[in-house]
Chains A and B, each alone.
Chain A
């Protein structure tokens, strides 16, 4: 029982991690698009749980609100509109991309490995610095707000412009061509 209490966080971590990985595998393994979307949803929820475990509850809430509550609902909406019950069994042309996939996978593995090694051997950093700004202790939400709108204001604005451009592009492409104007 004591062992359980001491390692409670680790037990929860491995359960959530297993859920996240299983969901990710399900996304590519299921043939029905709705089932794939549902397993992506499971992954999102498990990752939100991992955020909670790291005491980043603001990120967890936003993860659920934005990804589970917004993005995935739109995915499902589109999947149901095109009414694709299962992906048709057609010859797969993705086979010739296999070497590229293996190469990219190896690169990713190396990068993640280096990152993990650096995290394990480098300076762990002072986690408490995230909890206070100018010596004032802050909650999670305030800490995110401070670093986003003070330290990283310019990247934040650039990202929002990129998103705006993407949105305008989507509207232009989705617009029906009207009359002689010939659309945008």
Chain B
């Protein structure tokens, strides 16, 4: 480990490859879980032909999309049309560079952290990078030169800009409680205060969740791709690989929103109720598990619980009308989150934050 190049280049490279691989696999299998869960909710069986119980279905879907013909509409703006899928996928994957999956551990004598980096503006970085993802949708919709695509792109621009505000405000309440922007420090603040921020900040959590659903264009806020009105919205003209990128980005964004919710509100990698269940978690059955797997396991459990609610939403709620969506964002969520922010600020002033 004497060679600085190993620490400087090789370790981050390996981490990048691992994180990218895991995230892309997660996104692909999320689509499988969605189809399966929706199927059971609608008393069907769902995909069960490819591999045992259909477990190879996402792989087959990916291969199919890879080899399909990639059609370029003749009247499209070619450069912007190509740029769209890139701009929507790259930010969704870049965000994972700052999401902490656990605490540092020793590997071959060197301290390794199960995240790529811990920047001290972590949550701002995430908000900033994911706000760039909007361009992929707007530009893709515009460049397709199709009225349905354009309508979908415009809808998503209005929707994403509107719902970013209450989402940011609800994230700020967490920052007030943790008095740090770094995601690792936010989780540590939850460990030190002994309570997950979802309990003192349940209003912020609710607002964050609903806005997260809106930000990822998911049901009941999936107006940018409302199939009964706009064919398929902004990605109507996309096919083959480019469509696959939009598809991947949508599911990767769901994983992003769930991961951030886990870190900010559900205590990240911490096991639940450390105050009451400390004895249980200290039992030999659990301490035998390596720390990395223990931490990452809790992270994944919480994240998948969140993702399940996402899919549950889709199976339950009908789609909003666009004016209802806008009214909900501007007239309900922004005032409520502002009042909530002030209340939490007063609370932190009275009780004291984690510092």
> Which A residues are closer than 8 A to B by beta carbons?
32, 34-35, 38, 41, 45, 57-58, 61-62, 64-65, 68-70, 72-74, 76-77, 80-81, 139-141
Contacts and interface: CB of A to CB of B under 8 A. Distances in A.
B158 A80 contact: no
Contacts, number: 77
Closest 3 CB pairs of A and B: A69-B131, A64-B128, A61-B124
A68 B132 contact: yes
B138 A73 contact: yes
B325 to A, nearest CB: 16
Contacts of B83: 38
B129 A77 contact: no
A38 B80 contact: yes
B161 A70 contact: yes
Mostly, the A contact residues are helix
A80 to B, nearest CB: 5
6 contacts: A41-B135, A64-B128, A70-B164, A74-B161, A76-B157, A77-B154
Given A70-B164, A74-B157, 10 more contacts: A57-B119, A58-B121, A58-B124, A62-B124, A62-B128, A64-B129, A70-B161, A76-B138, A76-B157, A141-B121
A74 B158 CA distance: 8
Given A73-B138, A73-B160, A34 B77 contact: yes
Interface string B100-144: 000000000000000000011100110111011011001100100
Contacts of A58: 121, 124
- Among B128, B134, B154, max chain A CB count under 10 A is at B128
A69 B164 contact: yes
Nearest to B132: A68
Nearest to B179: A142
A64 B131 contact: yes
A57 B128 contact: no
A93 B132 CA distance: 36
Given A76-B157, A77-B158, A80-B150, A61 B128 contact: yes
Contacts of B164: 69-70
A58 B154 CA distance: 30
A167 B120 CA distance: 33
Given A64-B131, A70-B164, A77 B138 contact: yes
Interface in B67-124: 77, 80, 83, 119-121, 124
B127 A80 contact: no
B135 A73 contact: yes
A140 to B, nearest CB: 7
Contacts of A61: 121, 124-125, 127-128
B181 interface: yes
B153 interface: yes
Interface in B246-281: none
A74 to B, nearest CB: 7
A17 B242 CA distance: 31
B128 A73 contact: no
A71 to B, nearest CB: 10
A61 B124 CA distance: 6
Contacts of B150: 80
Contacts of B125: 61
A139 B83 CA distance: 36
Nearest to A32: B77
B121 A57 contact: yes
A146 to B, nearest CB: 14
Contacts of A45: 132
Interface in B264-305: none
B127 A65 contact: yes
Nearest to B165: A70
B142 A80 contact: yes
Given A57-B119, A61-B124, A73-B134, A34 B160 contact: no
Contact of A80 (B120, B132, B153): B153
A32 B227 CA distance: 30
B154 A81 contact: yes
A69 B128 contact: yes
Contacts of A35: 80
Contacts of A76: 135, 138-139, 142, 157
Nearest to B153: A80
Contacts of B128: 61-62, 64-65, 68-69
B131 A65 contact: yes
Contacts of B142: 34, 76, 80
A34 B140 CA distance: 12
A139 B157 contact: no
Interface in B172-204: 181
Contacts of A57: 119-121
Contact of A70 (B80, B121, B131): B131
B76 to A, nearest CB: 12
